[in-house]
Amino acid sequence: MKGALAETVTTLSHLPGVLAAMVVGASDGLIVETSAMKGVALGAADSRKHTAALAAYLYSKVTRASDTARLGTPAFMRLEAEQGQICIVGARDVVLVTIVTPDVNLGRVRLDMMKAAGNKS
Amino acid sequence: MSHPTVAEPWVAKPLARLMEDARLISGVLLYPTGKAVGQFGFSNAADVMSVCALTSAINASARELGRQLDGKPFYEMHHAGAERQVFMARCLAGSQEFLFVGVFDQESSFGVVEIYFEEFQKALEKLSPETPKPGVGPSGDFEGELNRSLDKLFGPLGR
């Protein structure tokens, strides 16, 4: 199980433009498996733990909104910010989270995240 | 959501922020001796008194357990119940140590509570008790100290 999660993280993190890929507990927001964060200087603050917790929290709220609107479970969630994007896909007890650059091939990231989530569920 | 009531005003702002950001249902900040410094989510002094006494005892037990099992004290504890979860940890302001215990449900998560508690710890580290508290060490009058701090939180007629 842990090996499969590590493989998922490795596959996603090797996509061009992916700065970090994580598997995060859906209910507790804790990191289960993560890649290293690219482009962060040694000794600089590591934002992965915070990003993971808040992304899982955000996904749970979006799921509730989607349920309330009778749209079912969200398939893919993307948060676009000034200097990059956060992509989230739910896979039962975990959520897959990637932090990507603004110019990433989003179609490829989406496809691979959905495929990985499909393998988890 | 109720605002924190505090026995020491300097903790009011960081405590309110922790409560809001981490979506906590209730929480108490206390000295390791069991004396309450601030609370939110409780409406009567007896509940806070119980929480303080239990947190103080659990903290002492967890530290000793950590020493025996891992060679160093356990400073953080998380218990996930069926619907509600308890988070307990220590923080420092100057050289003074405090304990915090908070309760949350599915509106928050352990990860979220943990990251906002880290911010709370950092906020508290920058502050310090307004006046040194000579009575914060074990004075032997545990019940008296507890009652005095509860009087500050709820008023003398609150119990």
Higher-scoring residue by pLDDT: A30, A42:
A30
Q: Does position B106 have pLDDT exceeding 60, yes or no?
A: yes
What are φ and ψ of residue B87, in 5° steps?
A: -125, 135
Instruction: Check CB contact of B111 with chain A, cutoff 8 Å.
Output: yes
- Looking at the DSSP assignment, which residues form a beta bridge with residue B80? B85
| Residues of chain A contacting B110 with CB distance shorter than 8 Å | 28-30
At residue B146 the predicted structure's pLDDT band, cuts being 50, 70 and 90, is low
Alpha helix locations (H) across B11-141? Answer: 12-21, 45-70, 110-126
Instruction: Check CB contact of A54 with chain B, cutoff 8 Å.
Output: yes
| Domains delineated in chain A | 2-36+45-120 (3.30.450.30)
- Each residue of B45-81: pLDDT tens digit? 999 999 999 999 999 999 999 999 999 999 999 999 9
Nearest chain A residue to B119 by CA distance is A50
Is B108 close to A25, i.e. CB distance below 8 A? no
| Residues of chain B contacting A53 with CB distance shorter than 8 Å | 109, 111-112, 114-115
What pLDDT sits at residue A81?
A: 95
CA atoms within 13 A of residue B133's CA, in its CB half-sphere: 22
- Each residue of A14-26: pLDDT tens digit? 999 999 999 999 9
pTM for the structure as a whole = 0.82
Higher-scoring residue by pLDDT: A85, B155:
A85
Q: Does position B132 have pLDDT exceeding 60, yes or no?
A: no
Nearest to A113 by CA among A95, A16, A101: A95
Is A53 close to B108, i.e. CB distance below 8 A? no
- Each residue of B7-59: pLDDT tens digit? 999 999 999 999 999 999 999 999 999 999 999 999 889 999 999 999 999 99
Cβ proximity of A48 and A37 under 8 Å: yes
> What is the value of ipTM here, to two decimals?
0.81
- Each residue of A78-104: pLDDT tens digit? 999 999 999 999 998 999 999 999 999
Report chain A's mean pLDDT, rounded to a whole number. Answer: 92
At residue A1 the predicted structure's pLDDT band, cuts being 50, 70 and 90, is low
Tell me the average pLDDT across B134-143. Answer: 57
- pLDDT-wise least confident of A24-38, A79-93, B89-103, B125-139: B125-139
Q: Does position B91 have pLDDT exceeding 80, yes or no?
A: yes
Size of interface A-B (CB pairs under 8 A): 33
